Structure 1
Amino acid sequence: MKLFSQYKGLRRANYILFIGRIVTNMGAMIWPMLTLILNKKIGFNATETALFTICSGILFLPANLLGGHVADRFNKKRVIIYCDIVSIALFVISGFLPLSIFSICVLLVGAFFQTLEGPAYQALVADITPAEKREKAFSLLYLGANIGLILSPTLAGLLFNNYLWLCFVISGLSISVSTVLIGLFVKDEKLDEAPTEDVEESADDGLNIWSIIRNSGALIAFIISLAFYQGAYSQFGYLMPLDIAKAFPEKGSVIYGTITSVNCFLVVLFTPIITMVFEKVDLTKKFALGVILQAISFAAFLMSFGIIGGYYISIALFTFGEILTTIMMGAFLAERVPESHRGRIFGATNFAGAFMQGITQFGSGRMFDAFGPAYAWAFSIAMTMVAVIAALMLVYLDKKEFSQLYVQAD
């Protein structure tokens, strides 16, 4: 069946990373609930929650850039393993500490090292995968991440009131399984590719990453669109739970947990389908359609306050947009940036997205406290529309700038 056979032909390491993602995210119980922990357990209001998230996010910003440089300078596999070891220890320790701002900060230091390894992980996938298979490889990795996430948010919602500490411990232990798999079965080795296969091979290795970005209108448009898209995307873990908790004070955590699980279930069900159906569609057009769907989903969330069915319709629209954008990002960047700079371009895009997340959360948090959820969602829609405009510009600029990629695709 083509739906599943499309993932055949990848290297063994791709399938190991796929399994590792499943296991890791089966234990990823804290992050979907972090806003509710700060809001319901610690007692922060929406603005305070946003400020705490922004302050921690500011500390994470250097991790994205530093992680990109480290990924390009050192063995990516070792970077991932060393960062994982630190994260595992801190996640488990935070679970046995009394719940407080201090224990949350211990958790966030562990998350800092997860952020630090992010560019190495993304660049490793690009390095071990042939150019023509990269979109499938990133699609498979994304699929594995969401297979693991199907049950974890719902379980976290059930543990939230009385056994929250278990979520911290399970998160750390699940990462350890992935770390062992990567350590035993994944090699950090670059493929020998013909110079004509990728634009990446013809780029000047002497340029720094900022020069590469500055000289490419398509990359600038992509980074702007992606930053605003990811800034708005963060509302999935920030504004959405605040909205639901306000509408359903007693059972908000359980409802939000099930909505998160629906998101993951839809990703698992539709990622292979969307990957196959849109296989021949240009990467930039997939991205533009995904961003447009995000804007529509936010409008649906705005109109769904207190309507549980509306939340599920909105999350479905959100998920289809998420799938389209996520499966193309890694392949898009890997084909347009030199191999020697892959870690840094992933770090730079992660930095831009994290920066805009802070702005979006702060703005929507102020709107939420001052005027209510509707104004907060309207602010988020405005942020997404910037991403839509930049994505539409990208469709034109990329085809003009990287015309040889489109000739090969034809």
Structure 2
Amino acid sequence: MSVTALRRATRDTVSGLPREFWWLWTSTLVNRLGAFVATFMALYLTLDRGYSASYAGLVAALHGLGGVVSSLGAGVMADRFGRRPTMLAAQVSTAVSVAVLGFMVHPVAIAAVAFFVGMSSNASRPAVQAMIADIVPAKDRVRAFSLNYWAINLGFAVSSAGAGFIAEYSYRAGFVAEAVMTLFCAVVVFLKVPESRPEKAASPTTAAGAPGVPDADGVRLATVLRDGRFMGVVGLSFVIALIFQQGYVGLPVAMGTDGFSSSDFGTAIAVNGVLIVVLQIPVTRLIQHRDPRRLLIVSSLLAGYGFGLTAFAGSVAVYALTICVWTVAEIVNAPVQNGLVVQLSPAHGRGRYQGMYTLSWAAAALVAPLLSGVVIDHFGAGWLWGMCAVLGTAAAFGYWLLMRNLPQAGMTVESGQGSVEVTGTGTSTAPATSSPPPRTV
């Protein structure tokens, strides 16, 4: 691709999105640039504090459990109180708890605060995803989610290197730096990001007795749980997340068992971050108007068999090659699956639906370390990679079953009440204009 073509592709990818989205994108990038706790918690506890690996694993599990607990509650808050207040509460709580964690000494106190850090840091995700869906038109949502995912990975790639240098000087300085940057995110949201939650819909019957839109309060967690197609997507998301998590829990253990060093793993896994930063924008341009059904099926197969190929790896180069395969799956799957979740979510229940979706990833982050450890210890790493291939195949078949009759996202049809948007469960009863555009800043 020529430089001119690359510039054109980049311009087409980033143009046309609302200003509010870019402030939200900036907040996400800064948040990930300050990531320290999730990356260096284990090293901090074992090397700096002198605790055992078992205790470090317990704290990591509690951090993940906090994310599981907050997912649904944060989704309800985003719908009931608004996206912006939920993000602000989560970010301020994260800043305070991360700063406190850096000064904790007693093991019980460290574990308790780590749980709260996991809970507060995960609480903003359903609100962020719901806000993107609120402010970005349906035709641009895959592109917007892809750019947000790119910001997450770019920030993580930079922060991992920078945090390593900070850790050599002082782990506590890393905690404080993350707290400051998270607080800065809250300031950006407070000053530049307006509330985007759609106004409450009309009652089921208007004054004239004509049918109207079901009230927003009709969307409960029970409503989400009864949505069979959506819960199927959540289940498949959990399976896909289990596969991708193995790149950070199963892969380093397997490489260590094969005699490779931690620097070898670092070299190999760096390919993941580099590819996402380099390829996310051009791949987004390629996939944004393609059939999401095929993209999810193909990405599931690439993820499963990308990890399956790891069973044949015997060198760092081959490990890196397998990482290339499942990284392409990750680049495609993340924005398309986010777009599918929005497509299946009613506008007034996006927070609850996004909370349930976030729960699938948080639960996978909690289960994946236990699963990989048991399989590798009792059967060997080869069985783990074979299991990933089976799970990827099962997920691809599951997406094919669930999406056979799913209308294309973003389509509009004419009805007696005007233009309405087609959602994953059929035609929305809400007029397409029922949700006003976000207020300008």
Structure with bigger gyration radius: 2
Q: Structure 2 vs 1, CA of residues 59 and 244 (structure 1 numbering), >3 Å: closer, same or farther? A: same
Q: How has the CA–CA distance of structure 1 residues 58 and 368 changed in structure 2, closer, same or farther, with 3 Å as cutoff? A: same
Q: In the alignment, is the contact (CA less than 8 A) between 2:9 and 2:282 conserved in 1?
A: no
Q: Deviations over 1:77-124 (max 9, x none)?
A: 121112211111221222244595743542331221111222111111
Task: Give, in angstroms, the shift of residue 186 of structure 1.
Answer: 0.6
Q: Larger helix proportion, structure 1 or 2?
A: 1
Q: Which moved more, 1:113-122 or 1:170-179?
A: 170-179
Query: Which region of structure 1 is more displaced relative to structure 2, 161-170 or 61-70?
Result: 161-170
Structure 2 equivalent of residue 346 of structure 1: 354
Correspondence for 2:294: 285
Indicate which of 102, 106, 110 corresponds to 1:103.
Answer: 110
Alignment equivalent of 2:336, drawn from 328, 339, 355: 328
Task: Tell me what 1:27 maps to.
Answer: 34
TM-score by length of 2: 0.78
Alignment of 1:49-198 (within 5 A): 53-98=60-105, 102-103=109-110, 105-157=112-164, 163-190=170-197
1:270 to 269, 279, 296: 279
SS at match of 1:236: coil
Partner of 1:211: 223
Supply the distance in 2 between the matched residues of 1:208 and 1:80 (Cα, whole angstroms).
20
- Per the TM alignment, residue 246 of structure 1 is displaced from its structure 2 partner at its CA by 4.2
**Which amino acid in 1 is paired with 2:34?**
G
The letter of the residue matching 1:229 is I
- How far has the Cα of 1:139 moved from its partner? 1.4
Asked if structure 2 preserves the Cα contact closer than 8 Å seen for 1:288 and 1:391, the reply is: yes
**2:66, 2:118 within 8 Å by CA — same for their partners in 1?**
no
User: What residue number does 2:254 align with?
Assistant: 243
Mapped contact 1:365–1:376 kept (Cα < 8 A) = no
**9, 17, 39: which one aligns with 2:16:** 9
Matches within 5 A, 1:303-382: 303-304=312-313, 307-382=315-390
Q: Which has the higher contact order (CA 8 A, sep 6+)?
A: 1
Could you report, residue by residue, the CA deviation over 1:208-234 in whole angstroms, capped at 9, with x for unpaired residues?
Answer: 3443553443x2332221111112222
Q: Structure 1 residues 28, 228: CA separation in 2 closer, same or farther (over 3 Å shift)?
A: same
1:197 alignment partner in structure 2? none
Q: Distance in 2 between matches of 1:179 and 1:268?
A: 25
Deviations 1:329-350 (A, max 9, x none): 3322222221111000011122
Matched residue SS, 1:151: helix
Please state whether the residue corresponding to 1:187 is helix, strand or coil.
Answer: coil
Q: How many aligned residue pairs are there?
A: 396
Structure 1's unaligned 5+ residue stretches are 193-200
CA shift for structure 1 position 157: 4.8
Greater shift after overlay, 204-213 or 19-28? 204-213
Cα 1:240–1:33, aligned 2, differ >3 Å: closer, same or farther? farther
Q: Which of these residues, 284, 289, 294, is aligned with residue 303 of structure 2?
A: 294
- The 8 Å contact of residues 83 and 196 in structure 2, kept in 1 or not, is answered as no
Distance across 1 between alignment mates of 2:170 and 2:291: 47
Q: Deviations over 1:316-335 (max 9, x none)?
A: 22211111111123322222
Matched residues in 1 for 2:257 and 2:45: separation? 14
Secondary structure in structure 1 of the residue aligned to 2:290: coil
Distance 1:333 1:135 in 2: 11
| 8 A Cα contact 2:219 2:348, kept in partner | no
Q: 1:72 to 1:395 in 2, by over 3 A?
A: same
Aligned to 1:198: none
Cα distance in 2 for residues equivalent to 1:377 and 1:275: 28
2:61 and 2:401 map into 1 onto residues whose CA distance is: 29
CA contact (8 A) 1:63 1:116 kept: yes
How far residue 368 of structure 1 moved from its aligned partner, in angstroms, is: 2.5
User: Could you list the per-position Cα deviations for residues 227-249 of structure 1 after superposition, in whole angstroms to 9, with x for gaps in the alignment?
Assistant: 11112222233222333444557
Tell which deviates more after alignment, 351-360 or 270-279: 351-360
CA distance in 2, matches of 1:37, 1:378: 33
Alpha-carbon separation, structure 2, partners of 1:285 and 1:204: 35
CA distance in 2, matches of 1:156, 1:247: 28
Q: Any conservation in 1 of the 2:64–2:118 contact (CA below 8 Å)? A: no
Once the 2 structures are TM-superposed, how far is the Cα of residue 296 of structure 1 from its aligned partner?
Answer: 1.7
2:433 equivalent in structure 1: none
> Secondary structure of the residue that 1:154 maps to in structure 2?
helix
Q: Is the 8 A contact 2:62 2:111 kept in 1?
A: no
Amino acid at match of 2:304: A
User: What's the secondary structure of 2:14's corresponding residue?
Assistant: coil
| Contact 1:154–1:257, Cα closer than 8 Å, also in 2 | no
Identity of aligned residues (%): 20
CA distance in 2, matches of 1:372, 1:162: 38
